Structure 1
Amino acid sequence: MMKIQLALDRMEINEAIELTRKVEDSIDWIEVGTSLIKEFGMTSVREMKQAFPFKTIVADIKTIDNARYEFEMCFEAGADVATVMGLSPLVTIEACMEVAKRYNKLVMIDLLNTTEQQKRDLMKYKEAVFCEHVSKDQQEELGEANYGNITDSLYSPDMKVAAAGGIKLDSLDLLRKTLNPEILIIGSAITKAENPAEAAAKFKQVEAK
């Protein structure tokens, strides 16, 4: 059964909390998006964890350097998962993994713009979550959110795989056939829906099948 991770971006903290309350029965993980962290810092992570103490909180900090400091900061603020870019130096990934292990938390490796070889080099971190990511700029500037060329061939059955970027209800069949992710990261299809609770419930229904 897939988990649904709600991606919260481009809004105030109180808006993010209010929206999440409307959909919390249909989601599993809550992502404090990069824009929230950039605008409001660790306060956004801290307040989200306080509001939803029993949900998994993902700090989408997109670390690419200064890993130990940034990951400690996220976990101290209450995050259960923090993100690092897969194109970071391996020493950075190693530092993230070490900090996460010390705090008994998870690392999500964002594979945006990584090469096939970089992905293969990262496969040794089997305890991480691997996120196949179609970028916001690719979606908005080029009008593309194509997962058709992404497959699960690199991943062993015991590895956690996530998909992010422009996911809609009508793209789930293709995702299941190609990547078959354990975690669906969904943003605007829920947050910008006319009725977010109804939209989230529809994803939950499909995810449960």
Structure 2
Amino acid sequence: MIKFGEAILGKDLKAVVNVIIGKGNEIDIAFSNALTRTPSPIFANLRDNLIVKPLSIVVPRHNIDNEIQAELLHGVIQYGAAKAIADLDLDEDLKIVITVSVPDVPYTTLNKRKLFHYYYGATKLAITRALNEYPSKEKIKKEKYRALHPLVGFRDVRLERPPYLQVALDVPTVENMEFIIESLPKTDRIIIEAGTPLIKKYGIEIIEHIRELYDGYIVADLKTIDTGRVEVRMAFECTANAVVLSGVAPKATILKGIHECEKCGIMSYLDTINIENPLKLYNSLELKPDVLMVHRGIDEETFNKDRLYLDTDNEKDKKLILGVAGGVSIDNIDELKNKYDILVVGRGITKSRDPGRVARAIVNKLGDDIEQYRLYLDEDEDINL
């Protein structure tokens, strides 16, 4: 039996602790290998000549470059880890390998107390998590698109929590585009679409410009009709999160575009402008797009209501994200949000005198944003052994 755990505690100074814990041949091999590595590990001792049980070693994750780091490792870090193990009162037949980071900070009374405090707590938490096999697969699936890494500063959103407002930037100038983006509310429910006219005028690199202003979910509305792989890869390399393929393209182009999206790890939209039966097209594809977009074009003089109200209750693939573009406004949001996952609004926002106010009015009808504090503190974690 062998299990793994991890914990990071602290703010200005951080205790980073990884543990391997278990009994039997596997942990014996891991323990022996760790004991002979460089830089040399140390046993978890409460003091000189008093090793804790179960037998445990503390392994620095990096080279120890000076006397301060050596003293911290052999002092408060070793003691914090040892005290945590002693207080847990674990099965003596276990063995534990604890890897730690060792900071290079002034050797003051406050820093010593902080590091002991943090390493004691992190070691207990990492061991408890290992024995409880935390986190569960269900927790990871729930939070994989919500987690905010402290050294990254943004989350990777993959449309797991509809409905969304997709703002179509079919605007004539970069200055207008910048004004609209900067006026939009800060919310998890907004998708930015680099519209086809915008990309045609300024090139695919306009997505990188958008990214500097808005580091959220960005769709490249290429309406690809040929060279599916090439256009998807171009958008991917400019950091687009999704690419729009045209439903009137040859089937081979659609399939190659979807396949390239899957290879690159981005999402595929299939735009069904001028397609009479979008679901029939969707069901005919061996590879399925992530998003099926029901779309009335700007140049159409009349509006076919059937394109907004597909009968999908019995036919829609459960994995399919359904979007609607054309004719979406603040007046029909309440009705459409129950049928569609993505509501695309272009001129209703971009031609407004106050784009931010209109966007906020729509977003307020879509639901709450994701709250971050609970995820950061892991308040749902059961730490009982």
Is the TM value for this pair above 0.5?
Answer: yes
1:27-176 correspondence to structure 2 within 5 Å: 27-53=189-215, 55-116=216-277, 117-122=280-285, 124-126=286-288, 128-138=290-300, 142-144=301-303, 146=305, 147=307, 149-153=309-313, 154-176=315-337
- Output one character per residue of 1:69-125: Cα deviation in whole Å (capped at 9) or x when no partner: 111111111111111011222211111122111211011000112232324314x54
Structure 1's consecutive aligned runs of 4 or more residues displaced over 4 angstroms after TM superposition are none
Secondary structure of the residue aligned to 2:171 is coil
Q: Does residue 1:183 correspond to 2:342, yes or no?
A: yes
Instruction: Quote the Cα distance in structure 2 between the aligned partners of 1:97 and 1:126.
Output: 7
Structure 1 residues 6, 33: CA separation in 2 closer, same or farther (over 3 Å shift)?
same
Tell me the distance in 1 between the aligned counterparts of 2:359 and 2:350.
9
Query: 1:196, 1:135 → 2: CA distance?
Result: 21
TM-score (normalised: structure 2): 0.49
Q: Relative CO higher for 1 or 2, CA cutoff 8 Å, sep ≥ 6? A: 1
Of residues 127-136 and 152-161 in structure 1, the stretch that sits farther from structure 2 once superposed is 152-161
**1:126 to partner: Cα distance:** 4.1
Question: CA-to-partner distance for each residue in 1:187-209, whole Å, 9 max, x for gaps?
Answer: 11111122211111110111128
Cα 1:77–1:204 shift into 2, 3 Å = same
Post-superposition offset of 1:143:
4.8
CA contact (8 A) 2:166 2:193 kept: yes
Between 12-21 and 129-138, report the one with greater CA deviation: 12-21
- Corresponding residue SS for 1:29: strand
Q: In the alignment, which residue of structure 1 is the partner of 2:172? A: 11
Task: Verify: 1:207 aligned to 2:366, yes or no.
Answer: yes
Instruction: Give distance in 1, aligned partners of 2:282 and 2:237.
Output: 29
Q: Which AA in structure 1 matches 2:355? A: P
- Bigger CA radius of gyration: 2
Q: Summarize the Cα distance change of 1:145–1:51 in structure 2 as closer, same or farther, 3 Å threshold.
A: farther
In 1, Cα distance between equivalents of 2:312 and 2:209: 35
* Distance of aligned partners of 1:167 and 1:202 in 2 relative to their CA distance in 1, 3 Å threshold: same
Q: Which residue type is aligned with residue 136 of structure 1?
A: I
Code of the aligned partner of 2:284: D
CA distance in 1, matches of 2:230, 2:251: 16
Distance 1:71 1:126 in 2: 15
The answer to whether the 8 A contact 1:135-1:165 is kept is yes
- Judging by fraction of residues, say which structure has more helix: 1
The amino acid that maps onto 2:191 is W
Tell whether the 8 Å contact from 1:81 to 1:105 is kept in structure 2 after alignment.
Answer: yes
Gaps of 5+ in 2: 1-161, 369-385
Tell me, yes or no, if the aligned pair for 1:86 and 1:119 is still in contact at 8 Å: no
Matched AA of 2:341: E
TM-score for the superposition, normalised by structure 1: 0.87
Task: Give the superposition deviation at 1:24.
Answer: 3.8
How big is the alpha-carbon RMSD for the aligned residues of Structure 1 and Structure 2?
2.0
Stretches of structure 1 that go unaligned for 5 or more consecutive residues are none
Does the Cα contact within 8 Å between 1:145 and 1:166 map onto a contact in 2?
Answer: no
